[in-house]
């Protein structure tokens, strides 16, 4: 079984993020869910992004990196949207990373150096998601240049479609995403 650190999105550590983590735990994985917003949650992505902006995006990313420092190095780094910032940085820069799960976002690999040879990852996002739209070229490039990176796109669902506590939740797409994530974790654990 895998050990995972799952970083929340801009709406905070919502009930849906916690439920997603619980689904991974039910499958036998150990999942850590640091709260980068000190308990605050937001009703919309825009409100959450405004809060993250007020803290500073770099400060949010650095808080995520700091939250992982006491965890084992041999871990899977996962993040929803805003949480991809620390997840991708740690996956690319922390020795021992077992894999990366980049949900609803993907940064250019150059942001944190180069993609480590052999590092397995999955990127999941909706082609109808205006937030993921600007990240899709980065995700495609990452998958095209690294045979260990898989890109999964979904039709129809919006941003954060795997978070059961937000309006854009899409049960069918979330089930497919979860199945793919569990398969990935089973193969790297």
What is the full DSSP assignment across 102-147? EES----GGGGS-PPTT--EEEEEETT-HHHHTTHHHHHHHHHH-T
Q: Which CATH number fits domain 3-188: 3.40.50.1820, 3.10.180.10, 3.40.50.2300, 3.40.50.300?
A: 3.40.50.1820
Query: What confidence tens digit (pLDDT) does each residue in 132-155 have?
Result: 999 999 999 999 999 999 999 999
* pTM score, whole prediction: 0.97
Query: What confidence tens digit (pLDDT) does each residue in 31-63 have?
Result: 999 999 999 999 999 999 999 999 999 999 999
Instruction: Give percent above pLDDT 70 in the chain.
Output: 100
């Amino acid at each position: 079984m895998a050990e995972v650190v799952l970083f929340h999105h801009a709406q905070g550590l919502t009930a849906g993020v916690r439920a997603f983590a619980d689904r991974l735990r039910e499958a036998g994985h150990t999942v850590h869910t640091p709260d980068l917003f000190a308990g605050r949650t937001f009703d919309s992505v825009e409100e959450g992004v405004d809060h993250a902006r007020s803290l500073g995006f770099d400060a949010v990313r650095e808080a995520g990196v700091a939250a992982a420092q006491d965890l084992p190095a041999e871990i899977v780094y996962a993040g929803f949207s805003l949480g991809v910032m620390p997840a991708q940085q740690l996956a690319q820069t922390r020795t021992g990373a077992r894999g990366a799960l980049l949900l609803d976002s993907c940064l250019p690999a150059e942001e944190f150096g180069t993609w480590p040879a052999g590092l397995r990852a999955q990127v999941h996002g909706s082609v109808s998601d205006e937030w993921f739209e600007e990240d899709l070229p980065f995700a495609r490039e990452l998958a095209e240049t690294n045979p260990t990176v898989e890109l999964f796109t979904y039709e129809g669902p919006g941003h954060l479609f795997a978070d059961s506590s937000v309006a854009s939740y899409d049960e069918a797409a979330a089930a497919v995403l979860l199945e793919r994530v569990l398969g990935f974790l089973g193969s790297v654990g």
